[in-house]
Amino acid sequence: MVCARAALGLGALWAAAWGVLLLTAPAGAQRGRKKVVHVLEGESGSVVVQTAPGQVVSHRGGTIVLPCRYHYEAAAHGHDGVRLKWTKVVDPLAFTDVFVALGPQHRAFGSYRGRAELQGDGPGDASLVLRNVTLQDYGRYECEVTNELEDDAGMVKLDLEGVVFPYHPRGGRYKLTFAEAQRACAEQDGILASAEQLHAAWRDGLDWCNAGWLRDGSVQYPVNRPREPCGGLGGSGSAGDGGDANGGVRNYGYRHNAEERYDAFCFTSNLPGRVFFLKPLRPVPFSGAARACAARGAAVAKVGQLFAAWKLQLLDRCTAGWLADGSARYPIVNPRKRCGGRRPGVRSLGFPDATRRLFGVYCYRTPGAPDPAPGGWGWGWAGGGGWAGGARDPAAWTPLRV
């Protein structure tokens, strides 16, 4: 009897303590991976958490439900005083808080504020609704249910529809540390791809003979057409379902992320806006690309935006154009001989001399942004005249009706 009263007192103290912690826990709190321990099993009513097998799939800007339900092995327990906690796995031994609920008190943390809420579909439902999904939401989430001395947890993997693309900056190949690769992907509207995403891209036909960083700190590259300069004709050093005459994903393992330098494999997802090709009245150097797009209510497209438009919006254009990083590329959905070969993809002309090589430009317009010159405007000088060998300053260009 004394032990029972002590347990009840401990339970009341636990509930009160968590009521305070729910309101005061720091947004960036992290903790190490823990073992799930059932203190009271058998007929005592251990809580059991069930999550979705496999993974759930969404896209950038979408709404997704991360499914999680719980029940008790004994029917004597109710659902009052249950603490529900969602965390995201950011490293093998570290989590970041996403959402916590204890009775009527609910709190979302960090970038999840205003986007995360419980589904609340009856007793035992701990599912989390996540709105306006971002690239950074990709990954594994833990659903933890705790009632006094009993707890259990389950994992849900959130995957995103999208495209993996290799990237290196103007400075050349193998110039990026791990941190620089993360920044480079972010600057091009992406994140570092995961090993699973790279493997899926390889299965979808990605063939790239330069090693790049992945989000777990490993360095890999996909080979669909084996050749000697790309890991040889066999499977040595390969991972995944390949590794023979069909190629595979070559894996250098985990590298020193502050000293060693490679390229990057980035991932991006659905675009809320639209990428389009703009061919001004006169070819533009790179310095004039931003002004050309601005005249159409847009900005120069980033590399990730062009890849997303090619893969998810089926943009097909056999004309090279400037992108925001100073590279010149063009997207091919329907391969033809005069457009770079027999395989679909985004063709790259590298980083041309910005003062000499003149192209059109790929622009990106956000949703709802007006087009100030729909179909009847171009670039020129108000006084008339032509390009004149570049003698006139492109900074003086103004939009003119054509």
- In tens, the pLDDT along 34-76 reads 333 222 333 345 888 988 787 899 999 999 999 999 987 655 5
Report the CATH number at residue 340.
3.10.100.10
Same domain, 353 and 331: yes
Same domain, 192 and 283: no
Q: What is the pTM of this model?
A: 0.79
Residue-level pLDDT at 45: 52
Residue 368 three-state SS: coil
* Residue 333: both structure tokens together: 């959905």
19-47 b/e with 16+ CB inside 10 Å = b? eeebeeeeeeeeeeeeeeeeeeeeeebbb
Residue 389 three-state SS: helix
Identity of the amino acid at 157: K
Report the CATH number at residue 106.
2.60.40.10
Pairing relationship of beta strands 238-244 and 150-160 according to DSSP bridges: unpaired
Same domain, 65 and 126: yes
**Facing residues of 220 across strands?**
212, 251
Residue-level pLDDT at 77: 56
The DSSP code for 359 is: B
Query: Which of 108, 126, 160 finishes a domain?
Result: 160
Judge whether 88 lies within some domain: yes
Residue-level pLDDT at 399: 46
Residues of the chain falling short of pLDDT 50 = 1-44, 235-243, 376-392, 394-395, 397-402
Same domain, 315 and 215: no
Residue-level pLDDT at 164: 98
Same domain, 53 and 140: yes
Count of domains observed in the chain: 3
Residue-level pLDDT at 340: 85
Residue-level pLDDT at 25: 42
- Which among 180, 181, 271, 274 is positioned nearest to 220, based on CA atoms? 181
Judge whether 239 lies within some domain: no
Residue-level pLDDT at 162: 97
Residue-level pLDDT at 267: 98
Distance separating alpha carbons of residues 8 and 2, to the nearest angstrom:
10
Judge whether 223 lies within some domain: yes
Judge whether 70 lies within some domain: yes
What is the Cα 378 distance to its own chain's centre?
35
Place of tokens 């400037």: 322
Instruction: Spell out the alpha helix ranges (H) of 157-255.
Output: 178-187, 195-203
Residue 44 three-state SS: helix
Distance separating alpha carbons of residues 88 and 108, to the nearest angstrom:
12
| Residue range of the domain that includes 342 | 270-365
Residue-level pLDDT at 80: 62
Judge whether 183 lies within some domain: yes
Residue-level pLDDT at 75: 56
